[in-house]
């Protein structure tokens, strides 16, 4: 009989996750995923089901890495709502690939926050202007915190600006993070002149407009993960070079790509593999949807 799965709570998972390890691991997996001749990393487009009564969605995200025999899935529930209820919940199951039994059940919230921020940081490493002094974060929720942590750890900015839907949320964020932050009440003022812009809102309408964006800036667009949701306007989508985590996912899930008709230039993994260039001198957008995901867990 199979052993009982272990359960790892969010605080235990948080203790195991380091940004440095995550970046190395995600660069490896993004590259493997994007190799045309490779079935090493199998990750179908997630299936997403609406939770009608609660303005939410449940997404199933299975992944299999053949060369290391890792089989796992994340289940993520995400909501568009105001107030104190959480906007995302996630659980990760790690399987024994030979028998199909579950070896570990992990709370997936910290994984979701840190993994997403780590992939955005990889996009910035590849695509942000060589001289990047000003970081602007639009949206001040959970993802904003993990993005702030990793971006200020990896890069040196002269100024970090934030703006959210309400001044109160932005001020709460500024009080929570360690380090200087300039709170703006106008998104336009926060964005103008920024070298790197991160959108981490739960908005379904554009919050970032091409007219505001400095030529050559890099945008990591993390919210708007539904085909009818937007964070970026048509002008930005038309003028920027668009990078994604997976082309198939972008074609069915990203409202910014589908509704603007923008063409995807490359997957981040293709840039990491050297098969597509990092056009650092152009205005670039990395549209993140959250696909590349895999878990290794050693019981000892």
Ligand X SMILES: O=C([O-])C1=[NH+]CCC1
Note the residues at the interface with ligand NAI (CB under 6 A).
78, 87-88, 112, 116, 138-144, 164-165, 169, 200-203, 207, 222-223, 225, 288-290
SS3 65: strand
Q: Which residue in the shown chain puts its C-beta closest to ligand NAI?
A: 141
Binding of ligand X by 199 (CB under 6 A): no
3-state secondary structure 106-138: EECHHHHHHHHHHHHHHHHHHHCCCCCCEEEEE
- The rounded distance, in Å, linking the Cα atoms of 243 and 177 is 29
Q: Which residues contact 72 (CB under 8 A, 6 or more apart)?
A: 62, 63, 92, 93, 94, 95, 293, 294, 295
Partner touching 43 among ligand X, ligand NAI, none, CB below 5 to 8 Å by kind: none
143 binds ligand X per the rule CB under 6 A: no
Residue 225 touches ligand X, criterion: CB under 6 A: yes
Q: Where are the alpha helices (DSSP H) in the chain?
A: 10-16, 19-34, 109-127, 142-154, 167-176, 187-191, 234-239, 247-253, 255-260, 268-273
78 contacts ligand X (rule: CB under 6 A): yes
Draw the binding track, 80-99, toward ligand X (x: CB under 6 A; -: no contact): --------x-x---------
Minimum gap (Å) between residue 23 Cβ and ligand X? 17
- Residue 210 CB, nearest distance to ligand X (Å)? 23
What is the contact mask toward ligand X in residues 266 to 295, using x (rule: CB under 6 A)? ------------------------x-----
- Binding positions for ligand X, rule: CB under 6 A: 76, 78, 88, 90, 112, 225, 290
């Amino acid at each position: 009989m199979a052993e009982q799965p272990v359960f790892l709570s969010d605080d235990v998972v948080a203790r195991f996750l380091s940004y440095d390890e995550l970046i190395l691991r995600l660069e490896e997996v993004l590259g493997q995923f994007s190799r045309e001749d490779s079935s090493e990393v199998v990750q179908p487009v997630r299936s997403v089901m609406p939770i009608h009564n609660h303005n939410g969605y449940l997404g199933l995200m299975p992944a299999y890495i053949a060369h290391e025999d890792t089989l796992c899935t994340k289940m993520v529930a995400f909501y568009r709502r105001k107030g104190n209820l959480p906007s995302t919940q996630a659980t990760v199951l790690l399987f024994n690939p030979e028998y199909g039994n579950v070896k570990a059940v992990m709370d997936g919230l910290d994984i979701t926050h840190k993994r997403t921020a780590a992939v955005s940081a990889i996009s910035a490493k590849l695509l942000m202007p060589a001289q990047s002094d000003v970081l602007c974060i639009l949206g001040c929720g959970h993802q904003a915190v993990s993005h702030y942590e990793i971006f200020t750890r990896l890069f040196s900015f002269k100024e970090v600006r934030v703006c959210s839907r309400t001044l109160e949320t932005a001020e709460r964020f500024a009080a929570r993070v360690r380090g200087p932050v300039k709170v703006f009440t106008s998104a336009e003022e926060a964005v103008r002149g920024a070298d790197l812009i991160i959108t981490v809102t739960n908005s379904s309408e554009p919050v970032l407009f091409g007219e505001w964006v400095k030529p050559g800036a890099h945008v990591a667009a993390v919210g708007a993960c539904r085909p009818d949701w937007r964070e970026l306007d048509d002008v930005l989508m038309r003028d920027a070079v668009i990078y994604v985590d997976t082309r198939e996912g972008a074609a069915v899930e990203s409202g910014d790509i589908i509704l603007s008709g923008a063409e995807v230039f490359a997957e981040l993994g293709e840039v990491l593999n050297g098969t597509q260039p990092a056009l650092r001198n152009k205005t670039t957008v990395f549209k993140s949807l959250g696909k590349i995901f895999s878990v290794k867990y050693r019981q000892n």
